[in-house]
Structure 1
Amino acid sequence: MSHVPVVIAGGGTVGLATAVFLGHHGVPSLVVERRPAPSEHPRALGISPRTLEFFHEVGLGREMAAAAVRSAELWRAEARTVAEIDRTPAPSGRAAPPAASAVSPEVPHGHYPQNRIDAVLLPAARERGATVEFGVAVTDVAQDADAVTVTLSDGRVVTADHLIGADGIRGTVRDALGVTTTGPGEIGDVTMNILFDADLVGAFGTMPVMTRITHPDAPGILLAVGERRWVLHVVFPEPEPSPERCARAVRTAIGADIPVEVVSVLPWRAIVRMADTFRRGRAFLVGDAARAVSPLGAFGLNTGLADAHNLAWKLAMVHSGQAGDRLLDSYHDERHAVAQLVTRQALLRWHDPRLHWDPAAVAERRAVGAWNASVVVMGHRYASSAVIDPVVRVPSTEDVEACFDAAPGSRVPHRVLGGADVSTVYLPRSRFAVLTGPAGDDWCAAAGRTAAALGTEVRAVKLDAPTAASMGLQPDGVLLLRPDAFIAWRSRGPADTARLTEVLAAVTGRG
């Protein structure tokens, strides 16, 4: 019986990302995926700036930028067919080109189909110490106080310190752990995801990244997923349309006689369901295994990758002896609350898409409790044992920049440090960090003493006066940043080594 530090059930995007994030922190893993190979279907497309921050942190910023699809323009159209798209709206009617952001050091270079993300993550996971096997599934799980025993479909039995279920909404790990779920389950109609090749840009000159097709014989959503590759999401009256029927729907949606090659067809149906706990002993759930949400809003993939990022640094600290087991409880406390928020917001959009697509629908969002999408993805707060005195209420549900106010439980505000061309978001370098003002020499010294006392690496960074002031930080104040750049603690008082040590011990589950 072999032993590995972590077994990850599921080698989709979230499972592979979990392996990359763990490997970045020095923790090897075994990833098993029941499918024989990575999926060629693009599935989700929208990646948030926050998710790009994760990839930058682990050294994959350039690779992800290269994977982005840039052939279609970043705007949304509605037309009877592709041929009838109005390509002459005023520039104000289209999305602005990417520009420097006030809230993140990362700006999307295009859109990011999951198959392209997977093509980056698979070799990256292996380069960082993961073993990834396809055609193998987890069939049974048992655990005690010391280890998790995992039975695989090929007959092997593996023991691990921890197990991560990333095997999707219909995976085996959640049920094997006895974790119950809550939610309505399947909603809406079965939709056919028709993947096809066609030179639409060459035929029509410009193409939006998303088009709502209103033709009565092929109503659906057309998405750009490659330089000459597209997906048409369409609902058919018949339950199992033939390949010829799918091809005819594509040609109808295009509305012009140009060559089309259907690559494959994947049926799907929206599912809304959430695990009642994201931790069971030494096992954890991430991504769709933890919660599945309705697709409008592009919240699902971003939320799953944030699950993986949150769990990875905490597991790594426990494996290295720099944190206690209590830190792992904060994974459920933080991510389950976010999952509840995201599920609620996605369902509101499912019933009224205008809440998502119309920037002017502020009053309508306020009336039903809907948040601006950027606040859902980036502005949420954490409240757990890994945050001291969290400020849970967001300052605004519309203005994401207002949510980055340096309150405990929020992600640190993005500020570019003068002369260094580095964002405050990246200052922790995957470790704990103390940020202090220009008069914070004593806090820097306290950080060194705290690191030595606890055996936990703590960076100390002194900010210049304008940067500190812009974050509401007094000249001798301090922020304690977690490895994920969330603020664990804020103090406006003079340096206090004993208090800093007490705080860091509590945050890392040893206090």
Structure 2
Amino acid sequence: MNRQVSTDVLIAGGGSVGLMLAVLLRHHGVEPLVVEEKPELSPHPRATGIGSRSVEILREVGLDRAVDEVAVDLRAGKIRGRTLAEADFTEGADWKTRTAAELTYTPARIRGTCAQNRLDRVLITRAGRVEFGAALDSFEQDSEGVTANLSDGRVVRARYLVAADGVRSRVRRILGIGRTGPGVIGQETSSVLFRADLRPRAAFAMCNIEHPDATGLLVTVDGEREWVFLTRAAEPSPDLIRTAAGDPSLEVEIRGVLKFRGRGQVADRLSLGRVFLVGDAAHAIPPLGAFGLNAGIADAHNLAWKLAHVLRGAAGPALLDTYHTERHPVAIMTMEQARLRFNDPSLHWGKDMAAARAAAGVINAPVVHTGYRYGGAPLPSTEDVTLDLDGSPGSRLPHMWVSDTVSTLDLVESRWCVLTADPEVRADIPVHLVDGWPYGTLLVRPDGFVSRSYA
């Protein structure tokens, strides 16, 4: 084996965010190397909520349909019951109708829930060189690049290093970057991955189980035989699952148990020299709201085009400084929003909660996912994301359909461009003339965010 390896970008960590970053870098013409200390992709779902902004990013790289294929088509969203057998499916049966009505601000569509392990299996098909069973042990950086030592004895020379190595990031510890936030939140929870045939009472996103002997949250993975039960029981067992399901004869195979506690912390810096932090290495976000995975995907999206521009000489290194200045405030906001929901989940799941959210300082979920702005400008609304996507600099480009299947977001094509309704506009980059475009003339970045408005 060659003990010396060279690459433009070394990604430490082959979870969802590391794989997404690799896909995005390759989309921009950069071939990274991903190293992951685990022997294979994680079989555990870990998270199941892929937000609309993440689906937009998947659409940009041509993977949205592949992810939709492995998503689960649901007939109900979040339901509840003493047991699954006693759950009221009508409670969450209108979720598809409500979701479709709310998604006027995005072209993103996914038919249901997609567990993180299923997402990973799609991402790895486009991630290029991914090596399992190889951990990053140590590294040093200089003015020209990073020299990393792997656990298998190899030495990697990279121009840049990206840490996607999780909450306990070794890269972050080596850099000596601290974290700020409340830290551990709530009690220890077990995520129990199990197999059982729960048909025909299946095809729901999640079910609050209220049985006093099996209180927890039942989450679908494949909608038929694979599930997760989130519980605070000391020793999760098949009998616990049977009680939650309301079926004492149910055949249950427990495949794995992950124990975790909610945590709210953000790294004090998201970059240092030629090293960058993404995903859980950059921010630990409490689980309620499904913000953690989606924030990590947004990290990767922000960083990938900037690395590509600098590597090919289209921009100077100062562009990379904007990764921290743009993503750090978003990470803090996202962590805080998840923490507030952790204290009162009804602020996230409840209907007609706008007044209660405003009183508690809670931002509506679509605004957290998509409505944030780079540059620090205040949001027009913390409740209605369509008001935030108004063409202002720092905001995500407004979505309009320009044909039955093409959105204004699709016109960006991962490059600098201009959108306008003015046929007199000329530029050295692509200019897209959009009939009925009400936002003036916008200069748009490769990640679909407005750089400048000429309205």
Please state which band the TM-score falls in when normalised by the shorter chain.
Answer: over 0.9
User: Would you say the 8 A contact 1:141–1:177 is kept in 2?
Assistant: no
Q: Equivalent residue for 2:88? A: 86
Matched, 1:215 2:211: yes
| Corresponding residue SS for 1:322 | coil
| Corresponding residue SS for 2:113 | coil
Distance 1:82 1:132 in 2: 40
- Match among 219, 224, 238 for residue 220 of structure 2: 224
How much has 1:265 moved relative to structure 2? 1.6
How much has 1:73 moved relative to structure 2? 2.5
| Corresponding residue SS for 1:188 | strand
Q: Deviations over 1:66-120 (max 9, x none)?
A: 11012x423211211111112345955x452653731001122111100000001
Q: Equivalent residue for 2:307? A: 315
- Match among 223, 241, 261 for residue 250 of structure 1: 241
Q: Equivalent residue for 1:96? A: 97
Q: Equivalent residue for 1:186? A: 184
Q: Deviations over 1:181-219 (max 9, x none)?
A: 1123222121111111122123x3x55211111111111
One-letter amino acid of the structure 2 residue matched with residue 266 of structure 1 = L
Count how many residue pairs are aligned between Structure 1 and Structure 2.
449
Q: Equivalent residue for 1:496? A: none
Q: Equivalent residue for 1:12? A: 15
Matched, 1:118 2:120: yes
Distance 2:378 2:216 in 1: 38
- Match among 395, 401, 408 for residue 380 of structure 2: 395
| Corresponding residue SS for 1:187 | strand
Q: Cα distance 1:171–1:480, how it changes in 2: closer, same or farther (>3 A)?
A: same
| Corresponding residue SS for 1:382 | coil
Matched, 1:376 2:368: yes
Distance 1:117 1:91 in 2: 25
Q: Equivalent residue for 2:251? A: 259
Structure 2 unaligned blocks of 5 or more: none
- Match among 40, 48, 58 for residue 61 of structure 2: 58
Q: Equivalent residue for 2:49? A: 46
One-letter amino acid of the structure 2 residue matched with residue 479 of structure 1 = L
Matched, 1:435 2:409: no
Distance 2:357 2:63 in 1: 36
- Match among 325, 334, 341 for residue 333 of structure 2: 341
Bigger CA drift: 218-227 or 358-367? 358-367
User: Would you say the 8 A contact 2:77–2:93 is kept in 1?
Assistant: no
One-letter amino acid of the structure 2 residue matched with residue 106 of structure 1 = A
- Match among 101, 105, 108 for residue 106 of structure 1: 108
Q: TM-score, normalised by structure 1?
A: 0.85
Q: Equivalent residue for 1:487? A: 450
Distance 1:459 1:167 in 2: 37
Q: Deviations over 1:448-502 (max 9, x none)?
A: 2xxxxxxxxx2111222x2x23x3x2xxxx210000110000113xxxxxxxxxx
Distance 1:421 1:69 in 2: 23
Q: Cα distance 1:398–1:430, how it changes in 2: closer, same or farther (>3 A)?
A: same
Matched, 1:425 2:421: no
Runs of 4+ in 1 over 4 A off after TM superposition: 88-92
| Corresponding residue SS for 1:56 | helix
Distance 1:80 1:246 in 2: 18
User: Would you say the 8 A contact 2:149–2:156 is kept in 1?
Assistant: yes
- Match among 1, 8, 24 for residue 21 of structure 1: 24
- Match among 401, 419, 437 for residue 416 of structure 1: 401
User: Would you say the 8 A contact 2:196–2:251 is kept in 1?
Assistant: yes
Q: Cα distance 1:195–1:10, how it changes in 2: closer, same or farther (>3 A)?
A: same
One-letter amino acid of the structure 2 residue matched with residue 230 of structure 1 = W
Q: Equivalent residue for 1:32? A: 35
User: Would you say the 8 A contact 2:138–2:174 is kept in 1?
Assistant: yes
Matched, 1:463 2:434: yes
Q: Cα distance 1:98–1:273, how it changes in 2: closer, same or farther (>3 A)?
A: closer
Distance 2:285 2:432 in 1: 39
Distance 1:259 1:50 in 2: 38
Distance 2:421 2:98 in 1: 35
How much has 1:224 moved relative to structure 2? 0.6
Matched, 1:296 2:320: no
Q: Deviations over 1:375-421 (max 9, x none)?
A: 111100001xxxxxx7x111111111111111111011100114x74
User: Would you say the 8 A contact 1:409–1:488 is kept in 2?
Assistant: yes
How much has 1:356 moved relative to structure 2? 0.6
Distance 1:228 1:90 in 2: 21
Q: Equivalent residue for 1:363? A: 355
RMSD between superposed Cα atoms in Å: 1.6
Distance 1:90 1:367 in 2: 26
User: Would you say the 8 A contact 2:52–2:369 is kept in 1?
Assistant: no
Structure 1 unaligned blocks of 5 or more: 384-389, 449-457, 493-511
User: Would you say the 8 A contact 2:163–2:276 is kept in 1?
Assistant: yes
One-letter amino acid of the structure 1 residue matched with residue 454 of structure 2 = S
| Corresponding residue SS for 1:427 | helix
One-letter amino acid of the structure 2 residue matched with residue 402 of structure 1 = L
Q: Equivalent residue for 1:163? A: 161
Distance 2:88 2:332 in 1: 39
One-letter amino acid of the structure 2 residue matched with residue 5 of structure 1 = D
Pairing of 1:275-286 with structure 2 (within 5 A): 275-286=267-278
Q: TM-score, normalised by structure 2?
A: 0.95
Q: Equivalent residue for 1:509? A: none
Distance 2:83 2:268 in 1: 43
Q: Cα distance 1:88–1:158, how it changes in 2: closer, same or farther (>3 A)?
A: closer
Tell which structure's C-alpha radius of gyration is larger.
1
